[in-house]
């Protein structure tokens, strides 16, 4: 397996989840709207959700409350209600982006360890990966509630380096947002960003990752 685009073959690949491996915005919107309706609040569009996803469930709920001009003290109740609905239907419409299955299979064939680091809480992240039949390839899963810090803090990435005993220079981070790029930069790990996904309305080019691809399959050529 050759990674000609980046000039080296990594000994560890750390992948983001939502917006990088999986397009999950539809299921997130559905759960949010179910929670909002249960609480008598205005619903949100999938377009809005795509601009908010990626910074963890708590931040997502803050964005919903802010956009709807709702009271901030509703946060905890809305978060709990949203998570209840989302955990019950984490993968009704979510699907892998093009090239993801091919990329994961190639990494497995090349015996390159894979880790998934996401700001999504651990339980729904694990269920989503399992529902899409890609949980087994990841030897480590870190959710937004696994460690004291989440991306863009580098700690989740540094934890992966320690867990696998791999140096930063021999590792590759794959992500779709500023959170991923900044975390990788702080951890001194090379980063590939995808051009699709969720980056809070900001072009990924503005985050200045080392490389940008339109599909993870590009890394295999």
Cite the active site residues.
Answer: 16
Q: What SS3 string covers the chain?
A: CCCCCCCCCCCEEEECCECCCEECHHHHHHHHHHHHHHCCCCCCCHHHHHHHCCCCHHHHHHHHHHHCCCCHHHHHHHHHHHHHHHHHCCCCCCEECCCHHHHHHHHHHCCCCEEEECCCCHHHHHHHHHHCCCCCCEEEEECCCCCCCCCCCCHHHHHHHHHHCCCHHHEEEEECCHHHHHHHHHHCCCEEEECCCCCCCCCHHHHCCCEEECCHHHHHC
């Amino acid at each position: 397996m050759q990674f000609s685009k980046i000039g080296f073959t990594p000994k560890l690949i750390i992948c983001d989840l939502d917006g990088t491996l999986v397009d999950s915005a539809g299921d997130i919107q559905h759960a949010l709207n179910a929670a909002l309706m249960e609480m008598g609040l205005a619903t949100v569009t999938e377009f809005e959700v795509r601009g908010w996803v990626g910074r963890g469930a708590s931040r997502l709920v803050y964005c919903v409350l802010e956009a709807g001009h709702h009271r901030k003290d509703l946060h905890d109740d809305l978060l709990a209600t949203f998570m209840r609905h989302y955990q019950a239907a984490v993968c009704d419409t979510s699907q892998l982006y093009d090239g993801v299955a091919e990329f994961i299979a190639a990494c497995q064939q090349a015996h390159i360890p894979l880790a998934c680091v996401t700001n999504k809480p651990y339980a729904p992240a694990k269920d989503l990966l399992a529902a899409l039949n890609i949980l087994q390839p990841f030897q480590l899963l870190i959710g937004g509630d696994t460690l004291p810090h989440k991306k863009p803090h580098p700690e989740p990435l540094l934890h992966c380096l320690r867990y696998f005993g791999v140096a930063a220079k021999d590792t590759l981070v794959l992500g779709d947002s500023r959170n991923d790029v900044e975390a990788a930069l702080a951890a001194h790990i090379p980063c590939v960003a995808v051009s699709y996904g969720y980056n809070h309305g900001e072009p990924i080019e503005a985050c200045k990752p080392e490389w940008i691809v339109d599909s993870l399959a590009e890394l295999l050529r």
